[in-house]
């Protein structure tokens, strides 16, 4: 396994010019020291392509993007696994009607405040809590979600851990999909 980050080699000061201006253009990630950063999606994509090219040159067979954000098609000889497609496909196959909770790592990604959207018989409640902040924020999220009478909750960020899932599941009593675990299971199938 080889790890390559789009922000490798960049400092926090260098990233200051990559701060997002619009909520729907936000990607939440961490620096190697664990510091959470929010960067502009469109500015990160060329850096991701550079890392993919480097990994291709090294002969890597499968490349996993460690982000559930939506991305353009990247050029590669390798197989590129995109978590957003896995999470979206699994969610669509799991719930077609009822109440879905979709949880993002930044409230900017849901328009600045929790919201509901309806598509036919499916109502999606959008909310956020950073997986890189203290667990207290996830507990508060769990309390909010418990009041929403949801049928399924998706932790839509690769940063959400099993502990985050456990807290949300305990607070709500509902089925919770942890994106990183789901993607890991698919990746295991691809490499076996």
Mean pLDDT of the region 40-67: 94
Which fold is adopted by the domain 84-180?
Rossmann fold (3.40.50)
| CA-based nearest residue to 99, from 115, 82, 122, 119 | 122
Would you say 176 and 94 are in contact if contact means Cβ atoms under 8 Å apart? Answer: no
pLDDT of 96 > 80? The answer is yes
The share of the chain scoring above pLDDT 90, in percent, equals 82
pLDDT of 131 > 80? The answer is yes
**What's the confidence (pLDDT) of residue 18?**
84
Mean pLDDT of the region 27-40: 89
Mean pLDDT of the region 15-35: 82
**What's the confidence (pLDDT) of residue 22?**
62
Greater pLDDT, 15 or 79: 79
| CA-based nearest residue to 25, from 68, 69, 67 | 69
pTM equals 0.92
Mean pLDDT of the region 26-46: 90
| CA-based nearest residue to 179, from 160, 166, 151 | 160
The share of the chain scoring above pLDDT 70, in percent, equals 98
Would you say 114 and 144 are in contact if contact means Cβ atoms under 8 Å apart? Answer: yes
Confidence label for 24 from pLDDT (cuts 50, 70 and 90): low
Mean pLDDT of the region 10-28: 81
Confidence label for 33 from pLDDT (cuts 50, 70 and 90): confident
Mean pLDDT check: name the lowest of 24-28, 86-90, 158-162, 165-169.
Answer: 24-28
Which segments of the chain belong to CATH 3.40.50.1860?
84-180
Mean of all residue pLDDT scores within the chain: 94
Half-sphere exposure of 63 (CA within 13 A, CB side): 24
Residue 178 bridge partners (DSSP): 155
Helix (H, G, I), strand (E, B) or coil at 134: coil
**What's the confidence (pLDDT) of residue 16?**
84
Q: How far is CA 154 from the centre of its chain?
A: 10
| CA-based nearest residue to 187, from 86, 73, 104 | 86
Mean pLDDT of the region 100-106: 97
């Amino acid at each position: 396994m080889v790890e390559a980050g789009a922000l490798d080699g960049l400092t926090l000061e260098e990233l200051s010019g990559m701060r997002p201006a619009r909520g729907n253009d936000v990607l939440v990630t961490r620096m190697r020291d664990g510091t959470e950063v929010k960067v502009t999606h469109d500015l990160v994509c060329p850096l991701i392509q550079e890392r993919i090219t480097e990994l291709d040159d090294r002969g890597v067979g499968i490349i996993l993007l460690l982000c559930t954000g939506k991305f353009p098609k990247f050029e590669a000889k390798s197989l590129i696994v995109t978590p957003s497609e896995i999470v979206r496909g699994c969610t669509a196959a799991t719930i077609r009607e009822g109440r879905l909770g979709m949880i993002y790592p930044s409230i900017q990604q849901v328009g600045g405040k929790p919201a509901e959207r309806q598509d036919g018989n499916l109502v999606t409640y959008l909310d956020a809590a950073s997986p890189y902040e203290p667990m207290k924020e996830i507990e508060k999220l769990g309390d909010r979600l418990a009041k929403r009478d949801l049928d399924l909750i998706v932790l839509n960020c690769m940063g959400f851990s099993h502990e985050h899932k456990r807290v949300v599941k305990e607070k709500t009593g509902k089925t919770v999909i942890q994106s990183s675990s789901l993607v890991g299971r698919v990746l295991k199938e691809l490499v076996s």
